[in-house]
A = this chain, B = another copy of it.
Amino acid sequence: MPKLADHGQRRVQIAEALLRIAGSSGLHAVTMRSVAAEAGFSVSVVQYYFESKEKLLLFALRYLARRVSERVEARIRASGSPPTSRGVIEAVLAQALPTDAESRTFHLVYTAYAVLSVTDPALAAQPFMAAPDEMRAFLTDRIRAAQSAGEASPDLDAHAEATGLLAMSAGLGTSVLLGQVTAGDALSILRYHLDRIVPEPET
């Protein structure tokens, strides 16, 4: 039994080709043929590793979600050690802003999937929809922790602040994507609002 190919690696390779196409030409440009060509394989290979296009799309979505969460964790780690409340919160929120080419692709494709999921039950049932919920819970905890530590005003509604901030960073990310705001301006605005909730320890 010949076993030359690493299935997992092949699937990732193909999923990355899909993300490249969706990021540059839109999710509607993702076809079996275009993905195969981008990945340097024949259509049959794509068919072989993913039995249908739907399976491929779902796998690519899960892969995307994993990559995004990896980036969030990397950003938290890079925010300083030991991580401050403000640093962690800012890291999580800033991740929603398309600052480089990769995160721009991630944000665009993610949004395209989200729009699609509104009218596609199979996509809506996907666990990637739960990610924002987790983030909201995480942020709420962090804000409460900052309040306990005296780093944030105690009369803040942590839940309302977390949900609002998350929505704001997502909205800012979309604005950057649409070219209405530069990534730098978006980050400044995000920091401005954060300063009013969880100020920097020192300036």
Q: Considering the chains assembled together, what is the distance between the CA atoms of A178 and B163 in angstroms?
A: 14
Stretch in contact with the other chain, from A7-15, A25-33, A45-53, A68-76? A25-33
Knowing A111-B115, A119-B25, A178-B114, say if A171 contacts B166 (CB, 8 Å): yes
| A53 CB, min distance to chain B CBs, angstroms | 13
| A177 CB, min distance to chain B CBs, angstroms | 6
- Neighbouring B residues of A172 by C-beta, 8 Å: 163-164, 167, 171
In the complex, whether A188 has a CB less than 8 A from a CB of chain B is: yes
In the complex, whether A117 has a CB less than 8 A from a CB of chain B is: yes
| A82 CB, min distance to chain B CBs, angstroms | 29
User: Per a CB cutoff under 8 Å, which of B119, B133, B171, B181 touches A168?
Assistant: B171
B178 & A129 in contact (Cβ 8 Å cutoff): yes
List the B residue with the shortest CB-CB distance to A159. B189
In the complex, whether A108 has a CB less than 8 A from a CB of chain B is: yes
Contacts A/B (CB < 8 Å), 11 sampled: A26-B118, A28-B116, A108-B115, A112-B115, A163-B181, A164-B168, A164-B190, A167-B175, A167-B186, A170-B174, A196-B196
